[in-house]
Amino acid sequence: MTYLIAQALVIVLALAGLPLFLVLGALALLGYVSSGQNLELFYAANIRPVATNPIFLAIPLFTLAGYLMAESGTPNRIVRLSRAAVGWMPGGLAIVALVACAVFTAFTGASGVTIVALGGLLMPALLKDGYPERFTLGLLTTGGSRGLLFPPSLPLIVYAMIAGLAMEGASQWREEAPSPATEARSPAERPARGEVEKALDDEMDRLLDDDGDQPNAEDAEDLGVDIEAEVAAMRSAAGAGSPALSGDEGAVPGPAAGTGAVPGRTAPTQVSVDRLFVAGALPGAFALLLVALYSVFVGVRHRVPRAPFAWPELGRALWASAWEVPIPLIIVVGIYGGFFTAMDAAAIVAAYVFIVEVLIYRDIPPGQLPRIFRESMVLVGGILLILMSALALTNYFIDREVPQRLFALIRDSITSPFMFLLILNVFLLIVGCLMDIFSAILVVVPIITPIALHYGIDPVHLGIVFLTNLEMGFSTPPVGVNLFVGSLAFRRPVVVLYRAALPYLALSLVALLAITYWPDLSLFLVRLTGVQ
Amino acid sequence: MARFLGAVDRGVARVETGALVGVVALLLVVVGAQVVLKWCGAGGQWSEMLGRWLVLWVGFLGGAVASHQGRHITIDVFSRFATGRTRRVLGVVINAVGAVLSLLLLKISWSYLGQKVEDGAVAFSVGGVDIPEWWMASVVPAGLALMAWHLAVQAVLSGASGVGGDKASGRDAGGGE
């Protein structure tokens, strides 16, 4: 009871503005103390992965690359190049703004840098060309989060880490740091585990035919669930696994668990940064296409004059940004082509961008470097700290079987994956309005991912749905953070931006529904490239 | 008193910012060298491990600077609507609780570090010389101590003038703007 009150108090403090890394850390700490676990294990679960898992290196390196580009002449050169390439189209400059924002957000995360770095540059140009002010404000404000689905977006990396841990953490935690609770679950002597065990029994009853035969694919089709994955997860949850189903595989339905899956769905894939980078490409392009079509419509309707296409200008613009054009190519060709991992790409891009912007273009005087290092690493420090706390909290959730308990509560009322996804969409829209993207991923993903697996939803697809939802939340009134940054950057009342963002939110909603209910849009490229 | 505290706080922040910038520069050199070495087929094991441990340093030093600037990521729903006195009280409470929690985490990390000293755990080896894990992990208690200090100072300053309260309440996940 005392612990419950303490946890409630921490949540109230969180809403009052206590730094999130302390909130998550305190919740995990209270959890460990209440279950009588060793606090040094808490530290180990918290800190050690950062120093031993190479994936964490990608966070400071990509962020630094993004900040260096934002501070250099890159925004100018990107705009000039894309204007020379597509400025002749109806709605050309708006499409330029769209693409430039997407590229920039992919590099800097939805940190507001895009709006500040590109907004000031593009706003006067768009207005001068004759685009309506409301259209322009909405385009640039919502552009602050538009490239989140493209590599090397930081939220994609963070999602991959947390979802991967949520799927695998249970087994890892049990191996590395056996808790009193898990130690008690020896194969010979397993105490009844109340709700979860009962849930397992119910589940087995549900999966067996009336005449008591074994679960089969037909049953799965009737129930709309992945039998093996579900039984394995439930068994693992109750600690009653047979040798074939217990342990590591139990908590994480791997590719082999696909037999009897929901029709039209494939076996869940493992989450990795590389896979998410590949999966985000088509959905991201689809969402951009919708806004591009809207821009063309506005361009034609308002008779915005078009710039004539000129090869010489395209050549000059290309020459001016000759050193920067390869940067997205390093990532796209490198990762999609399977030449190197996201971590290698991060190291190469950071080193390359530093050399190009500081030594070749000399846009950034060396005296400015300490300020840029500090600015970018304050963001990185904040993210890494909450990641560490979130890892500990995720381990606690898994250890206490929180997702399984939640699933046991909701599975009678939410029976199909489609219904689950619809409710998830609404829930995440609300979360996306209230929290920033990292908080949302760190708090919600550890609980939702294991439940989504029960509904046969691919975790990679789920990640794309998550980020599309949160991307939309960024621009959703009343508290979407883009709206505040835009209000500051463009010196307009935030209420004006609420109205300006509405048409874009409608388009985002269309994209969100397509991405949510058409899993192949996200998974097609993953299967095609076979990236691990 | 408040003025003196503020001056000391800024001095501490200047030192930790210097350390942060140095670590980032070192990280860039290490990963740059690693890329070149890997390309030549001679990637050193230790440089890769050093790069990973430096991320921990970036995290805790960056976190310390974020504490000084009131730029930690927060959920923060109440203070958006709070004004004046309420805001100041929130600033004091939140920063004070933050400082206490940081000290608690510091205590845990300190005892873990002590255990690593006893164990003689090795982070990585450079040319046959073992680098103890506690050297590399020492940034954790150090960073937490700095965070506790900054938050405590802000709690005092919030109470005295309300400045810290404003700093602590911004939903400033961005950092770049």
pLDDT of residue A269: 58
Q: Which residues of B touch A70 (CB under 8 A)?
A: 176
Contact B133, B122 (CB under 8 A): yes
pLDDT of residue B26: 95
d(C-alpha A229, C-alpha A241), whole Å: 13
Q: Which residues of A touch B71 (CB under 8 A)?
A: 378-379, 382
pLDDT of residue B143: 96
Put simply, the answer to whether B75 touches A108 (Cβ < 8 Å) is: no
pLDDT of residue B74: 78
Q: Residues 79-108, chain A: which have Cβ within 8 Å of B? A: 108
pLDDT of residue B43: 63
Put simply, the answer to whether A112 touches B176 (Cβ < 8 Å) is: yes
Q: Measured between CB atoms, which of A18, A42, A108 is closest to B94? A: A18
d(C-alpha B51, C-alpha B49), whole Å: 5
B90 and A CB contact within 8 Å:
yes
CB atoms within 10 A of CB B83: 8
CB atoms within 10 A of CB A129: 18
pLDDT of residue A291: 95
Contact A168, A251 (CB under 8 A): yes
Residues of chain B with pLDDT under 70: 43-44, 76-77, 79-80, 161-177
Highest average pLDDT, of A239-248, A500-509, A523-532, comes from: A500-509
Put simply, the answer to whether A485 touches B58 (Cβ < 8 Å) is: no
A17 and B CB contact within 8 Å:
yes
A23 and B CB contact within 8 Å:
yes
**In this structure, what are the phi and psi dihedrals at residue A193, rounded to the nearest 5 degrees?**
-115, 45
Q: Measured between CB atoms, which of B59, B98, B137 is closest to A22? A: B98
Q: Write out pLDDT tens, residues A186-237.
A: 333 333 333 433 443 443 344 333 333 433 433 333 333 333 343 344 333 3
A469 and B CB contact within 8 Å:
no
Distance from CA of B99 to the nearest CA of A (A): 10
* Structure-token match 């009150």, residue found: A5
Q: Spell out the residues 6+ positions from residue B50 whose beta carbon is closer than 8 angstroms to its own.
A: B30, B124
Contact A95, A289 (CB under 8 A): no
Distance from CA of B4 to the nearest CA of A (A): 25
Distance from CA of B158 to the nearest CA of A (A): 14
A376 and B CB contact within 8 Å:
yes
Contact A196, A237 (CB under 8 A): yes
Put simply, the answer to whether A22 touches B35 (Cβ < 8 Å) is: no
Q: Record the tokens describing residue A447, joined without a space.
A: 């609980």
* Structure-token match 């190479």, residue found: A54
Distance from CA of A100 to the nearest CA of B (A): 18
Q: Write out pLDDT tens, residues A435-448.
A: 767 778 887 888 88
- B132: helix, strand or coil: strand
The full 3-state SS of B60-83, as one line of letters, equals HHHHHHHHHHCCCCCCCCHHHHCC
Distance from CA of A197 to the nearest CA of B (A): 34
CB atoms within 10 A of CB A402: 18
- A307: helix, strand or coil: coil
Put simply, the answer to whether B58 touches A40 (Cβ < 8 Å) is: no
Complete DSSP assignment for B150-170 = HHHHHHHHHHHHSHHHHHHH-
Q: Which of B49, B72, B140 to mutate to test the interface with A (most CBs of A within 10 A)?
A: B72
Region A142-155 average pLDDT: 87
Residue A439 CA: distances (Å) to CA of A392, A417, B173 = 15, 25, 10
B135 and A CB contact within 8 Å:
no
pLDDT of residue A198: 42
d(C-alpha A319, C-alpha B144), whole Å: 48
Q: For chain A, what is the mean pLDDT?
A: 76
Q: Measured between CB atoms, which of A50, A381, A435 is closest to B62? A: A381
- Going by C-alpha positions, the residue among B19, B47, B110 that lies closest to residue A47 is B110
Put simply, the answer to whether A25 touches B105 (Cβ < 8 Å) is: yes
Q: Record the tokens describing residue A12, joined without a space.
A: 């109230």
Structure ipTM over 0.90, yes or no: no
Put simply, the answer to whether A347 touches B108 (Cβ < 8 Å) is: no
Region A252-272 average pLDDT: 43
| Residue A268 confidence class, pLDDT cut points 50, 70, 90 | low
| Residue A110 confidence class, pLDDT cut points 50, 70, 90 | low
Q: Spell out the residues 6+ positions from residue A244 whose beta carbon is closer than 8 angstroms to its own.
A: none
Q: Which of B31, B37, B87, B111 to mutate to test the interface with A (most CBs of A within 10 A)?
A: B31
Q: Measured between CB atoms, which of A19, A369, A377 is closest to B62? A: A377
Contact A328, A82 (CB under 8 A): no
Sign of CA dihedral B32, A154, A48, B63: positive
A13 and B CB contact within 8 Å:
yes
Region A475-481 average pLDDT: 78
* Structure-token match 């129930």, residue found: A223
Q: Residues 10-49, chain B: which have Cβ within 8 Å of A? A: 17, 20-21, 24-25, 27-28, 31-32, 34-35, 38, 48
| Residue A20 confidence class, pLDDT cut points 50, 70, 90 | confident
Q: Which residues of B touch A51 (CB under 8 A)?
A: 52-53, 55-56, 123, 136-137
* Structure-token match 């397509």, residue found: A514
